[in-house]
């Protein structure tokens, strides 16, 4: 199932006396969402009761007020909105509701509706001599309108609690509403020789022992982390693993790229041996990309290979580096020149840890998210364009969607090309120029997301130059990058050093590159034999 952006709201509608308000409140309470009733908004805005509005101004005026109240109710995200029974009678209301999220319609047998409204004088449509006949006629008249809802529940004979639970179960499987229902997302990864899952959600690390219990009580494990991440999360992860029967040891390394060295690698392996790890042990990589690379390479080589589980804590690691099995350390000649492919047994991604990241770390991961949107998902690109500051908002549903959808994209590419021999080249979009800019910056002065963003701008312009794309497609990419706070050009880069790095790109064959480019948002093509000098010219356009 392709993951879609989260709904803004869940709408509960239907005929009078079917329990819309009570059930809506129950759903909101169970899911931790806000609740709003459009009838209550109408009365609050008008300063009169609905019966008074009907009596003084007529039904048509009430319907106008109702439509205005609906737009007001849908203006904020993360709500359950209960509407009046006639809300679906207007096409514009249906369009507003459908754009916001799933529409739930409650129904009941006519005789039960009549029983529920007995003695209720606040029903102006039933102030007639034959309320039973009016109910039957209204139900017939509205049948076509109610059929436009996404979900229908007959409340006859059910308690309101039962109705709410049934709706939550149904909505949890809805591609848009599932995010509001708090369900964790499982993304399968299928690679040659096995498969594993990425679990994305809130509070994942505290349930790590339940999700990944030890094969037998007392099995040894190592939690490799940094002196920055360790104080925040290492003991929580260790406690969760102990609950799952593991006997964990925390191995801390200094924060930063310098830890991806032969020296630190040796110290980590020594720590494994001192802790008694054997071939049945597991390494848990708790941290960002540096920890994932280092711990992954240690797991790949210690005792000729032991199990690895990623617990990524940076946005970049969550959406990119923890997926795909690439591990490496640096040597004097360059980054990631010593490494191995070693697929993890599982990846556990807790979106709550993103709240502790500084803005600069969030931006470091945004470049990969934008890259995936440009190449694979026009719907996600539109979502980012609409909400460029989404990671600054306290919106768990949106965060989970973006992390999970990017995991899904990366997983699909990795499954198709686990050893980076073919289609996986598309993941280099923005990276050919980006890596050159990174090497040209003084003392790694640019973050990964910044160089990828600038690289996307340069390579989108290259696509226009080569006739692969058009100006508007390139401009749209540049606009979303700028809106999300990433640079469309960079300064402080030694041009000659960046050019030299570009000319040494390991993908060059006879002065030409095989490059992914974007002809239109959401689609990529692999262009063969791109002249490296043309790429260098494109790089110059993003240098200040």
Positions annotated as catalytic residues are: 304, 326, 368, 410, 420, 424, 428, 431, 435, 448
Alpha carbon distances (Å) from 497 to 337, 500, 502: 19, 5, 9
Give the distance, in angstroms, between the CA of residue 127 and the centroid of all CA atoms in the same chain. Answer: 50
- Rounded CA gap, 179 and 149, in Å? 19
CA atoms 517, 520, 521, 526: torsion sign: negative
- Rounded CA gap, 312 and 418, in Å? 20
Q: Which residues contact 392 (CB under 8 A, 6 or more apart)?
A: 359, 362
Please provide the size of the chain in residues: 544
Alpha carbon distances (Å) from 509 to 230, 501, 504, 506, 529: 43, 15, 10, 8, 8
- Rounded CA gap, 487 and 541, in Å? 13
Q: Find, among 508, 228, 449, the residue nearest to 321 by Cα.
A: 449
> What are the counts of helices (DSSP H) followed by strands (DSSP E) for the chain?
21, 16
Q: Find, among 81, 98, 101, 103, the residue nearest to 7 by Cα.
A: 101
CB atoms within 10 A of CB 507: 13
Say if residues 461 and 379 touch (Cβ distance below 8 Å).
no
Say if residues 260 and 322 touch (Cβ distance below 8 Å).
no
Give the distance, in angstroms, between the CA of residue 259 and the centroid of all CA atoms in the same chain. Answer: 29
Tokens of 38: 């459009």
Q: Which helix (H) or strand (E) holds 312?
A: strand 307-312
Task: Write down the H helix ranges in 118-207.
Answer: 131-146, 160-172
């Amino acid at each position: 199932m392709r993951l879609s952006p989260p709904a803004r709201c869940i709408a509960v509608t239907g005929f009078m006396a079917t329990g819309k308000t009570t059930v809506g409140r129950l759903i909101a309470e169970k899911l931790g969402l806000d609740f709003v009733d459009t009838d209550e908004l109408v009365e609050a805005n008008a300063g009169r009761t609905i019966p008074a509005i009907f009596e003084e101004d007529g039904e048509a005026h009430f319907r106008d007020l109702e439509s205005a109240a609906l737009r007001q109710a849908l203006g904020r995200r993360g709500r359950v909105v209960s509407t009046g029974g006639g809300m679906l009678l207007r096409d514009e209301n249906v369009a507003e509701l459908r754009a916001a999220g799933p529409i739930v319609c409650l129904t009941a047998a006519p005789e039960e509706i009549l029983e529920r409204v007995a003695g209720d004088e606040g029903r102006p449509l039933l102030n007639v001599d034959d309320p039973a006949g009016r109910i039957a006629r209204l139900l017939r008249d509205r049948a076509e309108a109610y059929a436009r809802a996404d979900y229908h529940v007959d409340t006859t004979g059910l308690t309101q609690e039962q109705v709410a639970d049934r709706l939550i179960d149904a909505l949890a499987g809805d591609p848009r509403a599932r995010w509001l229902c708090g369900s964790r997302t499982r993304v399968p990864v299928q690679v040659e020789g096995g498969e594993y899952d990425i679990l994305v959600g809130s509070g994942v690390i505290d349930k790590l022992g339940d999700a990944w219990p030890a094969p037998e009580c007392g099995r040894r494990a190592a939690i490799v982390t940094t002196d920055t991440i360790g104080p925040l999360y290492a003991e929580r992860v260790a406690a969760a693993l102990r609950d799952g029967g593991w006997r964990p040891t925390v191995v801390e390394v200094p924060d930063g790229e310098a830890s991806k060295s032969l020296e630190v690698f040796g110290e980590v392996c020594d720590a494994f041996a001192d802790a008694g790890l054997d071939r049945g042990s597991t390494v848990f990589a708790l941290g960002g990309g540096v920890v994932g690379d280092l711990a992954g390479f240690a797991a790949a080589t210690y005792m000729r290979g032991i199990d690895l589980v990623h617990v990524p804590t940076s946005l970049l690691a969550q959406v990119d580096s923890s997926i795909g099995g690439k591990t490496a350390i640096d040597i004097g000649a360059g980054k990631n020149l010593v490494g191995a492919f070693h697929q993890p047994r599982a990846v556990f991604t807790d979106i709550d840890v993103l709240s502790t990241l500084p803005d600069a770390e969030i931006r470091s991961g945004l470049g990969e998210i934008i890259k995936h949107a440009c190449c694979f998902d026009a719907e996600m690109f539109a979502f980012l364009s609409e909400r460029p500051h989404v990671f600054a908002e306290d919106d768990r549903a949106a965060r989970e969607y973006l992390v999970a959808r990017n995991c899904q994209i990366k997983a699909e590419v990795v499954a198709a090309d686990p050893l980076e021999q073919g289609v996986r080249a598309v993941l280099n979009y923005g990276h050919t120029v980006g890596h050159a800019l990174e090497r040209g910056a003084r003392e790694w002065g640019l973050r990964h997301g910044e160089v990828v963003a600038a690289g996307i701008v340069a390579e989108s312009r290259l696509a226009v130059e080569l006739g692969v794309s058009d100006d508007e497609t390139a401009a749209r990419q540049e606009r979303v990058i700028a809106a999300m706070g990433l640079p469309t050009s960079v300064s402080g880069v030694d041009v000659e050093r960046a050019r030299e790095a570009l000319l040494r790109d390991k993908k060059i064959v006879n002065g030409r590159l095989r490059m992914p480019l974007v002809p239109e948002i959401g689609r990529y093509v692999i262009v063969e034999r791109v002249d490296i000098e043309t790429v260098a010219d494109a790089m110059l356009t993003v240098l200040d």
